[in-house]
């Protein structure tokens, strides 16, 4: 039997179709645009069930309401040809079908079954980890990744995915060890770079994070827009901590926004970075308008709670006419108890959305109350620790704006544990300590910020 690039049997007769399948698998794992070659391969070989199942999965990663419609013709071809495939390939078809129906728990059950028998199926591992990530299930992310050992220990992407699972479980030393192992096998593994960025951010290794990411950033140039923009987004967070405003603006303009403006992940990366920039005192000028206008084209998009909340922030921040449309869609989604993630929408996403709307209207008390309700369970909406920090910052900004200096001090000092010398954080602490009648502590905080800025000039 013909095998794919990781030695798994595939029901493929046409060499060009096999090439398209391998491009999808490797491109999916490495975040290279060649993953999209599966569409042409599936169109040229409509009787190849696996190629068409993969094409359906690719369309679903559009993360937009139209995705199931785009995936449907490919899924229909795959289903029509399923009598000719292996058991593993049939399960992949079933996984694609479950996703198009929004049956994520069923999709994950299928992925787990495949990985139990085929631990070298890296594409299915990536698919499963993505969905556990969206559910905020960190232990699930780690568990499925570890299924790949020892059979797939020779594959760099195995260790990169294990690293991210460890990081999301707060096992930072193991995360960095696994990511370094991935880089030993393949130095340009962008997902391993990403895991190390998370570790360094969480541990407050800010300057080291800049040095590391800058040293590998040349390997991201030809990646798809998400991975290129997202790793630069991580670098921008380090620049923000160091008070390097010009570097943050340059990074935003050249590597975060503008690569694929219609893509969901690019849009939320831009929106969340702009918000962080403003909270840090960076002048973003007129950069919000273009992001909000592209997000507005999504309409009432509630495919993913984590993404939707950031869409709402961009629209509310710019007072866009479609803000209320999206807010109404969130309310409707939070009342739809037929969905598997109903509780997350009702108990977490809805109060967070109400907090975002209140924040945009300078209704600080409501913003604080509503976001305080959502924050302890925000992981249920998906996203990483670093990404969800946006909602922590919205809450913190409302505390500061509302003059709740004592509460803000508590939040800021806890944040200083992983950003001890950060410029924005220490400037905020200086302000808070001044308002609470603690001038000595205010002076110390401002000195930390000044020292960090001075070190950038050496």
Same domain, 116 and 167: no
In a domain? residue 433? yes
In a domain? residue 205? yes
CATH number of the domain residue 210 falls in: 1.25.40
Same domain, 37 and 111: yes
Per-residue pLDDT band at 372 (split at 50, 70, 90): very high
In a domain? residue 269? no
Domain range holding 208?
153-222
In a domain? residue 449? yes
In a domain? residue 183? yes
Radius of gyration of the chain (CA): 23
Q: Which contacts (CB < 8 Å, 24+ apart) does range 256-262 have?
A: 256/229, 256/232, 257/229, 257/287, 257/290, 257/291, 259/225, 259/228, 259/229, 260/224, 260/225, 260/226, 261/290, 261/294, 262/294, 262/297
In a domain? residue 4? yes
Task: Work out the percent of the chain whose per-residue pLDDT is above 90.
Answer: 99
110, 140, 170 - which closes a domain: 140
Tell me phi and psi for residue 3, to 5 degrees: -125, 155
* Distance (Å, whole) CA 131 – CA 43: 27
- Whether residue 1 is predicted with pLDDT greater than 90 in this model: the reply is no
The number of folded domains in the chain is: 3
pLDDT digits (tens, 9 = 90+) for 376-398: 999 999 999 999 999 999 999 99
Same domain, 164 and 91: no
In a domain? residue 334? no
- Both tokens assigned to 323: 């803000």
Number of Cβ atoms within 10 Å of the Cβ of 366: 15
Q: What is the mean pLDDT of residues 322-343?
A: 97
Mean pLDDT computed over every residue of the chain: 97
Same domain, 64 and 169: no
In a domain? residue 29? yes
Same domain, 72 and 127: yes
Environment class of 101 (CB within 10 Å of its CB; exposed 0-12, middle 13-18, buried 19+): exposed
Q: What is the pLDDT of residue 457?
A: 67
Per-residue pLDDT band at 458 (split at 50, 70, 90): low
Q: What is the pLDDT of residue 456?
A: 78
- Whether residue 169 is predicted with pLDDT greater than 70 in this model: the reply is yes
């Amino acid at each position: 039997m013909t095998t794919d690039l990781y030695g798994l049997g595939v029901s493929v007769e046409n060499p060009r179709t096999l090439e398209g399948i391998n491009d999808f698998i490797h491109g999916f794992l490495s975040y290279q645009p060649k993953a999209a070659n599966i569409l042409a391969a599936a169109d040229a070989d409509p009787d190849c069930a696996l190629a068409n199942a993969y094409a359906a999965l690719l369309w679903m990663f559009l993360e937009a309401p139209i995705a199931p419609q785009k995936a449907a013709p490919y899924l229909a071809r795959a289903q029509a040809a399923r009598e000719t495939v292996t058991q593993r390939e049939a399960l992949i078809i079933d996984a694609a079908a479950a996703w198009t129906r929004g049956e994520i728990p069923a999709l994950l059950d299928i992925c787990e079954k495949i990985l139990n028998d085929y631990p070298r199926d890296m594409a299915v591992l990536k698919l499963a980890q993505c969905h556990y990530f969206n559910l905020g299930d960190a232990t699930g992310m780690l568990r499925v990744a570890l299924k790949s050992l020892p059979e797939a220990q020779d594959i760099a992407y195995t260790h990169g995915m294990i690293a991210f699972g460890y990081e999301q479980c707060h096992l930072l030393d193991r995360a960095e060890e696994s990511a370094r192992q991935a880089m030993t096998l393949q130095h340009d593994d962008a997902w391993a770079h990403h895991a190390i960025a998370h570790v360094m951010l969480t541990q407050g290794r800010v300057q080291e994070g800049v040095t590391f990411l800058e040293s590998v950033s040349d390997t991201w140039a030809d990646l798809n827009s998400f991975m290129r923009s997202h790793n630069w987004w991580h670098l921008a967070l380090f620049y923000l901590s160091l008070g390097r405003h010009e570097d943050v603006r340059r990074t935003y303009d050249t590597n975060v926004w503008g690569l694929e403006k219609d893509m969901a992940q690019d849009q939320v990366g831009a929106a969340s970075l702009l918000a962080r920039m403003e909270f840090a005192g960076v002048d973003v000028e007129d950069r919000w308008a273009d992001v909000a206008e592209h997000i507005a084209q999504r309409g009432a998009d509630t495919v993913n709670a984590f993404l939707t909340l950031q869409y709402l922030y961009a629209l509310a921040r710019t007072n866009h006419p479609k803000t209320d449309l999206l807010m109404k869609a969130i309310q409707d989604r939070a009342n739809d108890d037929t969905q598997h993630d109903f509780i997350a929408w009702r108990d977490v996403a809805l109060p967070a959305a109400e907090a975002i709307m209140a924040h945009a209207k300078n209704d600080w008390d409501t913003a604080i109350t509503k976001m305080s309700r959502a924050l302890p369970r925000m992981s249920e909406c998906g996203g990483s620790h670093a990404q969800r920090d946006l909602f922590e910052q919205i809450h913190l900004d409302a505390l500061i704006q509302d003059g709740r200096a004592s509460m803000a001090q508590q939040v800021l000092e806890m944040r200083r544990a992983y950003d001890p010398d950060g410029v924005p954080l220490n400037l905020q602490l200086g302000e808070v300590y001044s308002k609470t009648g603690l001038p000595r502590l205010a002076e110390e905080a401002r000195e930390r910020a000044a020292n960090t800025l001075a070190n950038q000039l050496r």
